[in-house]
Amino acid sequence: MEKNFDLIIIGGGPAGYVAAIKAARKGLDTVLVERDKVGGTCLNRGCIPAKAMLHASDLYRELLGSRPFGIKAEETSFDYGGILRYKEETSESLVEGIKKLLKANGVTLTEGTGRLKAGRVVEVTGPSGEKELFHGERILLASGSEPFVPPVEGRDLEGVITSDELFALETLPESLVIIGGGVIGAEFAQIFSGLGSRVTVIEAMDRILPGMDREISQNLKLIMKKRGVDIRTSTQVEKIERAGENLRCLVSHKETREEIEGQYVLWAVGRIPHTEGLFDEGLNIKMEKGRIVTDERFMTGEEGVYAAGDITEGIQLAHRASAQAAAAVAFMTGQAPEADLETIPSCIYTEPEIASVGITADEAKRAGIEADTGKFIMSANGRSLISKEERGFIKVVAERKTGRILGAQMMCARATDMIEEIGTAVSNGLTAAQLKRTVRPHPTYNEGLGEALEDLTGEAVHIAPGKRR
């Protein structure tokens, strides 16, 4: 016999669990179907574990470099097993918190793999193979994504891994070849090089972080190389083979061929939507490039069936997935979404942090928008000098005619926290003059944002007149 619900959600990641809580608070009888742990990739195998390990690695590196602060820590060491326990405890604490929130809000949590069938029926296959049928007035597909592994010869060799397997390693790799110099590759390069692994990054494009501001890419490359990371750009991996106890990557760079060895090879070339087995054939759910197509209300072509998060078109970010899911629930209940889904910040948790929102000056130019850029080099920021931060800057882009903020790119300490102010400005059409009305406390990293805003009109105090822009 089918169990009936107002809303059935398949997938308990940042899209699914947020939608479940939002829906329950709006009075919908909601069931959340999750085959593994709530929190999805983000909490269990992605964002949170990676940031926990980044924090541990950065802390270790800072201790080793603490002499300029008058602190002697030459005998500092680390316990890799302890770092892994810290990572797991952090994730488990958040997962348990979400489970308690689901229960407190009256959400039914069901363990199993959900498959959508005709008539808005979801078949749930439990851990032991038992099957159960649920019927929903509405369905939300939010099954997330998984690491992408290109069809390169040698991809199935032992030691060729994705981020999922990397997190499960119980010993620190002596050497690691990372294929992919995007966000995932950059963060893992920092984690393991900071802990002493020999790290090589191979990127097919002409620079790492190819989707970010070019100056950010250039600066991060210099910083990473200074820390011992070997970075190869414009380089293609043609084959992976066994080389004794190591793995060998046969790569090509322009007209040259080379061999690069490492104990492990990590695929970090992005993620693909997890849609295999998600719904029956014959349903009116359109796919494009492996992703589910939705309308502006996040509804698929199948009446009453919605989709949100990594399985839909666009950048794959946890906060975007949560915002989409909340918007979908709002549409289901006849309300307008609260968040501006066109203004999604991107963050990279390297050291220094990197964050961007809106558009760059180059993108404004390509769109035919006359814009000005205000820039502040953070080496002149008091807080940055105190903490001896490495190369960093803040850029703010504003429309020339109106002063309206169009976007910002930051590479500095606390960039991932500060970017929200610019996101608010972009979403609400605020101008540089309006943002400049705020008096920023001293000494803070955020003073650099104020200086970048003032540089738009040539008024920045801590920039020499001949060095503006």
- Binding-site residues from annotation for FAD: 51, 114, 310
Q: Catalytic residue at 135? A: no
- Closest to 130 in 3D by CA, of 151, 150, 112, 145: 112
Q: Cα separation of 208 and 232, whole Å? A: 9
| Cα 384 from chain centre | 25
Please say whether the dihedral angle defined by the alpha carbons of residues 335, 340, 346 and 351, taken in this order, is positive or negative: negative
Task: Name the residue type at position 30.
Answer: T
The three-class DSSP label of residue 151 is coil
Helix (H) or strand (E) holding 406, with range, is strand 405-411
Helix (H) or strand (E) holding 42, with range, is helix 40-44
- Beta-bridged to residue 272, according to DSSP, are 146
Q: Cα separation of 404 and 379, whole Å? A: 27
Q: Burial letters for 139-157: b for 16+ Cβ neighbours within 10 Å, e otherwise?
A: bbbbbbbbbeeeebebeee
Q: Token pair of 235, please?
A: 């380089």
Q: Decide if 216 contacts 183 (C-beta within 8 A).
A: no
What values do phi and psi take at 21, rounded to 5?
A: -65, -45
Q: What is the dihedral of CA 415, 421, 424, 428, to 10 degrees?
A: -130
The three-class DSSP label of residue 461 is coil
Which distant-in-sequence residues (6+ apart) come within 8 Å of 346 by Cβ? 183, 211, 212, 315, 317, 355, 356, 357
Find the DSSP H helices in 342-446.
Answer: 361-366, 382-386, 415-428, 432-436
Q: Cα separation of 386 and 170, whole Å? A: 37
Q: For residue 443, is the peptide bond before it cis, meaning its omega torsion is within 30 degrees of 0?
A: yes
Q: Token pair of 163, please?
A: 């981020």
Q: Cα separation of 329 and 7, whole Å? A: 9
Which distant-in-sequence residues (6+ apart) come within 8 Å of 339 by Cβ? 323, 326, 327
Which whole-number Å values give the CA distances from 318 to 47, 98, 175, in the listed order? 8, 15, 30
Q: Decide if 23 contacts 32 (C-beta within 8 A).
A: no
Active site residues: 442
